[in-house]
Amino acid sequence: MVSSSNTTRPDFGNLDAARFRALAAERLFAPGRAPVGDFLFNPGLRDWVVHRALRPAAVLIPVVERHGGLSVVMTKRTEHLASHSGQVAFAGGKIDDQDGGSVAAALREAHEEIGLDAAHVDVLGVMPDYLSGSGFRIAPVVALVDAHAELAANQDEVEYIFEVPLGFLLNSDNHRLGSRPFEGKRRYYIEMPFGEHYIWGVTAGIIRQFHERLTGEPPMAAAALEQA
């Protein structure tokens, strides 16, 4: 965590694109000291997730600067999808062999799902993988997006596109521990209700890792489980 009498802590609720770019380069992309994923809140899943053969995937975390500040572009998936239907998510998906890597996959998926032209995307870097209980090793690709980029939801996959203020996502007061029964056990996850939108699960877990790296705040997992 950044804490020093000679260091001014950034106001994470009022970052501009230039300051975000600098902080991202400094804090977001260093290799992790340990794997991160859904198992952080479900220790019994750790060995099962960490040691299984996970399918590579990538998501795009698109940060855009508006007059009101920075926001993050997100989607609500359509209700008819076979997996994660109706959930809030980043544009993303499996990394295909022809993609050549996580960045290309994230850009391809963003173009397919929300019509985002890669020419309007400035990729800043890739965060360490997030391991999901659903069997994916997800590479979060962080980018700044031109405010003039035109977006259009692919109705086969995306019900609609919306934006969340970056300051909301970087405020730990908005991060809560939720739980529900799953296959006879209680599973824990992060949830971030935002107006009518319910951000939870893998998407919220990735946002929490983004938050902890960018702000330097301590991990939520241990303290949250102690209070559960």
Lowest mean pLDDT among 35-39, 100-104, 143-147, 152-156: 35-39
Range of the domain at 29: 13-227
Residue 113 lies in a domain: yes
Residue 3 lies in a domain: no
User: Residue holding tokens 């022809």?
Assistant: 98
User: Residue 63 sits in a domain of what CATH number?
Assistant: 3.90.79.10
For residue 2, tell me if it sits in a domain: no
Is 209 a member of any domain?
yes
How many structural domains is the chain composed of? 1
Residue 172, SS3 per DSSP: helix
Q: Is residue 4, in this structure, part of any structural domain at all?
A: no
Whether residue 1 lies inside any domain: the answer is no
Residue pLDDT, tens place only, 35-94: 898 888 887 777 666 667 789 999 999 999 998 899 999 999 988 765 655 789 999 999
The pLDDT of residue 222 is: 54
- Does residue 204 register a pLDDT over 80? yes
- Give a yes or no: residue 64 inside a domain: yes
Q: Which long-range contacts (CB under 8 A, 24 or more apart) does 99-108 make?
A: 102/56, 102/58, 102/126, 102/139, 102/141, 103/58, 103/141, 105/57, 105/58, 105/139, 106/58, 106/59, 106/60, 106/139, 106/141, 107/60, 107/141
Task: Give yes or no for residue 98 having a pLDDT over 90.
Answer: yes
Query: Is 5 part of any domain?
Result: no
